[in-house]
């Protein structure tokens, strides 16, 4: 793990085509080029937009669905399996499937026309103003099942005695969830949030297969930008990779230091003394 990171850092200081020895040292020029490129800055913004949408939409939705599926109901096992199926599909298969479904002559527009809503048909992935939102919808369909499964696993660790005692005292089901279950689900929520943040920052495969960062960079991420503009110039691609790595590292360290401190048992020894 360490060697590729070190080599990427070394390559990023050279104008190198990937063949032959490293010859032309250019210092931080590759970094300056990336950080002043409007498309790369837009890609960073897209990554953090997906981070924010994931935390604000996917997280609460996963918690609500997990709470409902944790109740005794008919067909619960089948529903759980159906929700988890998209997550186990390979990204290439899922991305190509949605690319075909959302094409101008794809299944989504055909369905809208068949029910008399042809006016709503549109090139879903070809409009810069809405492409990122459509892409986020695809990502939610793909990864929501994992979040729900994680929440369901966390719910198994919530003592039933607490909920039963609250119910005897007259608390409604929703009040029990809000005041007892969700607070005790905190460690699981924080772990999911960490995985979601890092995954959103490093997002590549679903976007690359579906839109390749288009149209006009509307769905571009740091990883797709790195592949698109690093081909033929590994030095520049390495600089983008190092920037992506540093952003991920800083966020991971800060999150574990502050948000997951209690969960990881990393309390400050000096404070304990």
Can you give the pLDDT of all 273 residues of the chain as single tens digits? 889 889 889 999 988 877 777 778 888 999 999 999 999 999 999 999 999 999 999 999 999 999 988 887 777 788 888 888 999 999 999 999 999 999 988 899 999 999 988 888 889 999 999 999 999 999 999 999 999 999 999 988 888 888 888 888 888 888 888 888 888 998 999 999 999 999 999 999 999 999 999 899 999 999 999 999 988 888 999 999 999 999 999 999 999 888 777 776 644 444 444
Stated pTM of the model: 0.89
pLDDT confidence of residue 264? 66
CA distance 151 to 139: 18
pLDDT confidence of residue 265? 63
Q: Which two tokens stand for residue 52?
A: 């924010």
Strand partners, 14: 25
pLDDT confidence of residue 200? 95
CA distance 239 to 78: 47
Helices (H), the chain: 2-11, 29-35, 38-53, 59-69, 76-88, 91-101, 107-114, 131-155, 160-168, 173-176, 182-184, 186-201, 205-210, 222-230, 234-258, 261-264, 269-272
Residue 216 CB coordination number (10 Å)? 13
Q: In CATH, which of 3.40.50.300, 3.60.15.10, 1.10.3720.10, 3.40.50.720 is domain 7-13+27-38+46-235+246-271? A: 1.10.3720.10
86 burial class (0-12, 13-18, 19+ CB within 10 angstroms)? middle
Residue 22 · residue 11 · CB < 8 Å = yes
């Amino acid at each position: 793990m360490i060697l590729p990171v070190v080599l990427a850092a070394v390559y990023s200081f050279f104008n190198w085509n990937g063949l032959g020895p490293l010859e032309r040292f250019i210092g931080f020029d590759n970094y300056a080029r990336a950080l002043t490129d409007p498309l790369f800055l837009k890609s960073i913004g897209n990554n953090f937009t997906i981070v924010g949408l994931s935390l604000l939409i996917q997280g609460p939705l996963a918690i609500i669905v997990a709470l409902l599926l944790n109740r005794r109901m008919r067909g619960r096992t089948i529903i759980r399996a159906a929700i988890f199926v998209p997550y186990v599909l390979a990204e290439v298969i899922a991305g190509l499937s949605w690319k075909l479904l959302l094409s101008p002559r794809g299944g989504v527009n055909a369905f809208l026309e068949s029910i008399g809503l042809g006016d709503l048909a549109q090139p879903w992935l070809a409009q810069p103003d809405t492409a990122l939102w459509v892409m986020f919808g695809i990502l939610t369909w793909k990864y929501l099942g994992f979040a729900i499964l994680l929440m369901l696993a966390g719910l198994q660790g919530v003592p039933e005695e607490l909920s039963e005692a609250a119910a005897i005292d007259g608390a409604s089901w929703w009040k029990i969830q809000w005041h007892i279950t969700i607070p005790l689900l905190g460690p699981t929520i924080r772990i999911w949030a960490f995985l979601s943040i890092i995954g959103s920052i490093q997002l590549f495969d679903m976007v690359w297969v579906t839109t390749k960062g288009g149209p006009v960079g509307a769905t571009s991420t740091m990883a797709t930008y790195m592949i698109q503009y690093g081909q033929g110039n590994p030095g520049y691609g390495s600089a983008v990779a190092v920037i992506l790595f540093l952003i991920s590292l800083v966020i991971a360290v800060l999150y574990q230091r502050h948000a997951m401190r209690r969960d990881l048992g990393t309390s400050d020894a000096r404070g304990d003394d």
